Copies of this chain bind each other. A is one copy, B any other.
Amino acid sequence: MKKVKMGMVGGGPDAFIGAVHRMAAQLDGQIELVCGVFSSTPEQSISFGKQLGLASSRCYGRFSDMLEQESQLPAEQKMELLAIVTPNHLHFSMASEAIKYGFHVISDKPATTSLAQALTLARQLASCDVLYALTYTYTGYPMVKEARHRVLTGELGQIRKVVVSYQQGWLGDMQAEGSKQASWRLDPVQAGLSCCMGDIGVHAANLAEYICDQPITHLCADLSTAHEHRVLDDEGTVLLRFGETIKGVLLASQVATGEENNLSISVYGEKASLTWQQQVPNNLIIRFADSSTQIIRSGVANHSSLAIRNTRLPAGHPEGYIEAFANVYRNFAAQIRAQQAGKSADDAAMDVPGITEGIRGMLFIDSVVRSSESSQKWHAVQGAQLHD
């Protein structure tokens, strides 16, 4: 089986997430990094590419050169998939360009920096055969897939309430503002409408919608900042409604002192409830009406097919963030191969976040910011119908 040949834009020496994308892409031996432009400084880009062990001829100094030159290579050699790991404001234009050349795209989140751009991208994708994936990492965890399965099969009964919380503390300290990570996130020009909700709240919203298979239709947001001079939110709470029957609440903070990357979700149904915590990702807790509590563990044989197919190791051998990330890559690689083979992709290959989730994310951010500015309680998430 030939590996999918991947190029990368962004992800140079200091970029944490670029390294994660490379590890995730390569973990399963299904994808091979063949070319890239890793920095806006051409010399730095080329030198870094060589450090990664790429052939010199495939280390590019400019994005447009990479697209142009790769497109002219013979099929056995040329890039098939582009990974976009640049700062957010470049995601849209780069994805759009690559699609025009016919390269499949896997983009770091968010898809774009505005709802309009996301819709434009969706229309472009709808009119061609190019495949597109968005790395919402957290839905890549097998126990998240198992949670969704248990909800969809009715084990929890009618869902009543969803509580999703994403707590980080790193932005709480004023000194953190000096860092590269902080400065662009707090800058409206680079980050868009929101800092905390755009960066992590949107992960929480995606997780809730994925597990419950329901879109957020209305919300009531209370955003704030811990430091007066900041113009974008660094924390907030959002009341949620998923249609008529499901209520929820979403908490997100980047100033929750001492918290690391504490994303967790509880879903309460008529018959049972479940809890999953990203920092203990191999556990899924299910509580039944008689107070008995079960700890469901990843790697066990009797799980749903999607959970099993997204697990590499037997129970008791912890898998973590890189493996969840790699699941997105592996499944997307299978989607690409199915298309290349003229076959329909199977469930696992299709279980990859794409432009629909990208649009949902932009809608969420947009709605949360508007709601927070309003004195009215409820705000309709307009465009929620796009989900279908």
Residues of A within 8 A of B (CB): 1-3, 16, 19-20, 22-23, 26-29, 32-33, 51-53, 156-157, 160-161, 163, 165, 168-169, 172-173, 220, 222, 224, 226, 235, 237, 239, 247, 249, 251, 253, 255-262, 268-273, 278-282, 286-297, 299-302, 312-323, 374-378
Contact = CB atoms under 8 A, between A and B. Distances in A.
A146 to B, nearest CB: 12
Contact of A314 (B26, B222, B261, B317): B261
Contacts of A256: 161, 268, 273
A313 B261 CA distance: 11
B222 A247 contact: yes
A273 B258 contact: yes
Tell me the dominant secondary structure on chain A's binding face: loop
A364 B266 CA distance: 26
Contacts of A235: 160-161, 247
Contacts of A160: 172, 226, 235, 255
A193 to B, nearest CB: 19
A365 to B, nearest CB: 19
Contact of A374 (B295, B318, B377): B377
Nearest to A247: B224
A232 to B, nearest CB: 16
Contact of A322 (B27, B224, B269, B270): B27
A386 to B, nearest CB: 25
Contact of A293 (B163, B281, B295): B295
Given A23-B27, A375-B377, A377-B377, A260 B314 contact: yes
Nearest to A223: B247
A299 B247 CA distance: 30
Nearest to A320: B318
Those 5 A-B pairs whose CB atoms lie nearest each other, nearest first: A258-B287, A260-B316, A261-B316, A318-B320, A317-B321
Given A260-B299, A318-B321, 11 more contacts: A19-B312, A163-B251, A169-B291, A235-B247, A237-B249, A258-B287, A258-B289, A259-B287, A261-B317, A291-B299, A319-B321
Contacts of A272: 257-258
A212 to B, nearest CB: 15
A157 B19 CA distance: 36
A318 B279 contact: yes
B294 A269 contact: no
B281 A255 contact: no
A316 B279 CA distance: 6
A285 B160 CA distance: 28
Contacts of A295: 292-295
A260 B291 contact: yes
Nearest to A176: B289
Given A289-B169, A376-B376, A378-B375, A322 B312 contact: yes
A115 to B, nearest CB: 23
A249 B237 CA distance: 7
11 contacts: A29-B53, A160-B255, A163-B165, A237-B249, A249-B251, A256-B273, A258-B291, A290-B300, A291-B315, A293-B297, A295-B295
Contact of A258 (B280, B288, B376): B288
B1 A53 contact: yes
